[in-house]
Amino acid sequence: MKSDYIKTTRCQERRKDPLEMFHSGQLVKICAPMVRYSKLAFRTLVRKYSCDLCYTPMIVAADFVKSIKARDSEFTTNQGDCPLIVQFAANDARLLSDAACIVCPYANGIDINCGCPQRIHDDLTRTVDLCRKAEATGVSWITVHGRTVEERHQPVHYDAIKIIKENLSIPVIANGDIKSLKEAENVWQITGTDGVMVARGLLANPAMFAGYEETPLKCIWDWVDIALELGTPYMCFHQHLMYMMEKITSRQEKRVFNALSSTSAVLDYLTDHYGI
């Protein structure tokens, strides 16, 4: 029944158990759940550049369960898209359970969005208490974004993440303002967590986890190939390129490139300027 309406292939690499990765003692590098962005094509790209674990964008469980159209548009995967965590937003346990049952043959885990991007309280004891309650219910791991509700661009409270990690026995993932592999390794060491999750840093440089300081031309070329092969909609295709090329283009080049309105125009531009 499930295969009738989900354009997916069952994960053939169940041996890539995220929990085993978290207990390996190595830094686990994770692509965050980003609305509109962390879909199959982008996940495929970052996996080519040393990303260990990917999340889907946040999916509204109620819509996913009730609408075939929502299932088709919100969740697509393939054999290479593994290990994969599907993130849902839900306020109804039954709908969350139903949504999880639909995707479980195609994923390695289900994540519940609990207030992205703020996940710590001013009173840290409240956050620790919440995490302990979640641990008691049987969750496998917790990701903590180290900012309060009011904070947007202020420094991340990695000390708070460290305290949370010290008070839990399950794996904890650090998230927030990580823009390079070196920063990821530093945060991992400072917090004592089991992995790091990155969002905007990977949008700007999908090859970040492979140690590149800025997006290499090979990565841009890979994105073009992957996006065209998977039929990525133009707006998404173009937007990702704008993020990737932010640091390697001048202001004038940005104005020209950002105004392009078709895939063919983008391909012509890349060919003329970068030989791609």
Tell me which residues are annotated as active site: 116
CA–centroid distance for 19 within its chain: 17
Cis peptide before 117 (omega within 30 of 0): yes
Using the 8-state DSSP alphabet, how is residue 116 labeled? T
Pick from 103, 12, 108: nearest CA to 65 = 103
Tokens of 231: 């039929």
Determine contact, residues 223/230, Cβ cutoff 8 Å: no
DSSP-derived secondary structure for 200-226: HHHHH-TTGGGT-SS--HHHHHHHHHH
- What single DSSP character describes residue 230? H
Instruction: Cite the beta strand spans of 105-201 per DSSP E.
Output: 109-112, 142-145, 172-175, 195-198
Cβ 122 vs Cβ 128: under 8 Å: no
- Structure tokens belonging to residue 235: 């707006």
Which of 216-221's residues contact partners 24+ apart within 8 Å by CB, and which partners?
217/274, 217/276, 219/45, 219/49, 219/244, 220/244, 220/245, 220/270, 220/274, 220/276, 221/276
